[in-house]
Amino acid sequence: MAFQLATLFELVADAVPERTALVAGDISLTYSEIDERATRFANHLLASGVKVGDWVGIYAFNRAEWMEAMIGCYKARTVPINVNYRYVAEELRYLFDNADLTAIVYEAEFGPVIDSIRADLPKLQTFIRLDDGSGITDDLNADDYETALVGASTSREPFGERSPDDLYVLYTGGTTGMPKGVMWRQEDIFFAALGGGNYGGPRISSPQEIVANIGERPGCGMALAPLMHGNAQWTIWATLFNGNKGVLWSSRKFDAHAVWDLCEAEGVNSISLVGDAMARPLVDVLANREAPASVLAIVSGGAILSPAIKTEMNLRMPNTMILDSFGASETGSNGSVDVTDKGPRFRMNEWTTVIDDAFQQCEVGVVGMLARRGNVPLGYWKDESKSAATFVEVDGERWAIPGDQAIIESDGLITLLGRGSQCINSGGEKIFPEEVEAALKSHPTVFDATVVGVADARWGEHVSAVVQFRASTTATIEELAQHCRDHIAGYKVPKTLTVVELMVRSPSGKPDYRWAKELAAQTHAT
């Protein structure tokens, strides 16, 4: 028996079949129910001509079917691919082609955009549509999801022997702004990010041991982020692997009062969220209501909570642990972070340290690169050069070096200094300046543009554009933003604009991001 995600889930489902596994909106599923539906989905995939090893896109908002399809893909030994529902056609075309998708599960409202790029994607042949109440139709000749499940087998027999080498792939932002697929062996992602079968305790040594760590009284964990991001995926998988109840925030709009109401209704013990963008509204409404007593922990992953927000949350929720979790698509979960006046810090473990250019652990106080060994990804899909730079083998051991600079302190803690790149983190979303700059420069009035992140009270950072217009022309931020929306997702669009007569660049012609950031921050920081 292998450390394979579907196999591990089946062990838990068989052990606690009647426990509630997942709540999403009005849908509540027990472990046996979600297992059966995922099995039916897997059998439908295979009956539709999808083969072992094929990649299957999941293009939907948070809903129970998202997890059903993901589990079903692993049952059939296919690879589920997260699709960002904010992407426009140009971005989707790149992602679908890069991932070699042969099948896609999608909400009805996304059908027309898929239809518009279908001709450019000859490998994409299987379409499964989720009813979202929109009434939107398309010409994809798709199977209805529920109808497909009704007609599919409940037998696990067709799936054959699974392997710990089966892939888990998470698409994340790339150095040019285009998404890149981080490839993990399923055994590695299980131990690196999904709790290892005993969240917070010793790793299990065999798949069967996962059952022994199921608690007598199930807990309840909520994921506020979209399942298209690793934050929510890792939260729900870790929750399920311990036989607990996972709750998804499935509303299209973030409503802090409704989040707390849901926590009370479901008895949520822990909440996973992304930075101040989610935490600030939650703590603001606590001025007029009590926090649910059941919530014992709030964990932020993907963006670190600001000290001010953390302080206020501690005041409003004195019996709740407020934690920052440090991790990345390329490293998995690295542990909890303590934000100090020296910056974010966390404790080294046997897998994580700071290394120098010779791949040796740095001396105390020496700036180096944060690195993780052990259970690390195989590499980036279709990007050998980037893989070679990020995932390095030294003396027979593989290291993941995602690009974070750091220092080992005298007390053994690691202080994070930040990425060497100019990646913008807005509400947990990675935004790369080059892509936004390209969209801006395609506007007829823009001569040159540099894009930076500016401090924002809610989102951590927002996208800000420094622009040099062509002679005798100009444009408003609203006009530029509308233009950008035709090329990039809405969350990447600049929110503020600084106009300059002459763009400052380095002697080699590279953008001077430090200058641009300081200039934009003078007037736009909030």
Range of the domain at 496: 424-524
| Burial group, residue 513, by CB count within 10 angstroms (0-12, 13-18, 19+) | middle
349 with 489, same domain? no
Distance (Å, whole) CA 486 – CA 467: 19
How far lies 245's CA from each of 58, 266, 323, 397, in Å?
22, 9, 21, 37
State residue 507's pLDDT score. Answer: 46
Residue 422: what pLDDT? 74
Residue-level pLDDT at 339 = 63
Among the three residues 180, 201, 222, which one is the final residue of a domain in this structure? 201
Does 413 share its domain with 474?
A: no
Amino acid at 125: Q
Report residue 354 as tokens.
């700071």
Give dist(CA 317, CA 324) in Å, integer. Answer: 16
Q: Are residues 46 and 158 in the same domain?
A: yes
Same domain, yes or no, for 395 and 461?
no
3-state secondary structure of 271: strand
In a domain, 236, yes or no: no
pLDDT, residue 345, reads: 78
pLDDT of residue 160: 86
Say yes or no: 395 and 442 in one domain. Answer: no
Residue 282 within any structural domain of the chain: no
Q: Is residue 182 part of a domain?
A: yes
In this prediction, the residues of the chain whose per-residue pLDDT falls under 70 are 173-177, 339-344, 418-421, 506-510, 526
Q: For residue 117, is it within any domain?
A: yes
Last residue of a domain, one of 201, 227, 259: 201
Tokens of 348: 């080294």
d(CA 27, CA 143): 21
Q: What is the CATH number of the domain that holds 411?
A: 2.30.38.10
Alpha helices in 76-136 (DSSP H): 89-98, 111-117
Per residue in 269-321, pLDDT (tens digit) is 999 998 887 888 999 999 999 999 999 999 998 777 877 788 889 999 999 99
Please tell me the predicted confidence (pLDDT) of residue 418.
61
Residues 395 and 497 grouped into a single domain:
no
Q: Look at residue 343 in the predicted model and tell me its pLDDT.
A: 59
Q: Are 487 and 468 in contact (CB under 8 A)?
A: no
Buried b (16+ CB within 10 A) or exposed e, 284-320: ebbeeeebbeebeebbbbbbbbbeebbebbeebbeeb
Neighbours of 340 (CB within 10 A): 12
- Alpha-carbon span 324 to 93, nearest angstrom: 35
Find how far residue 102's CA is from the centre of its chain.
22
Residue 452 inside a domain? The answer is: yes
Question: Do 364 and 428 lie in a common domain?
Answer: no
Shared domain check, 479 and 393: no
271, 222 contact by CB (below 8 A): yes
CB 244 within 8 A of CB 296: no
* CB-CB contact of 107 with 132 (8 Å): yes
Q: Is residue 394 part of a domain?
A: yes
Q: Coil, strand, or helix at residue 243?
A: coil
Helix (H, G, I), strand (E, B) or coil at 507: coil
268 in any annotated domain = no
Q: Does 439 share its domain with 375?
A: no
- Asked whether residue 173 falls in the same domain as residue 83, the answer is yes
CATH number, domain of 432, equals 3.30.300.30
Of 201, 232, 250, the position where a domain reaches its end is: 201
Residues 72 and 54 in one domain: yes
Give how many domains the chain has, as a whole number: 3
Half-sphere exposure of 268 (CA within 13 A, CB side): 28
Same domain membership, residue 78 and residue 118? yes
Domain assignment of residue 325, yes or no: no
Q: Are 424 and 452 in contact (CB under 8 A)?
A: yes
The CATH number linked to 189 is: 3.40.50.12780
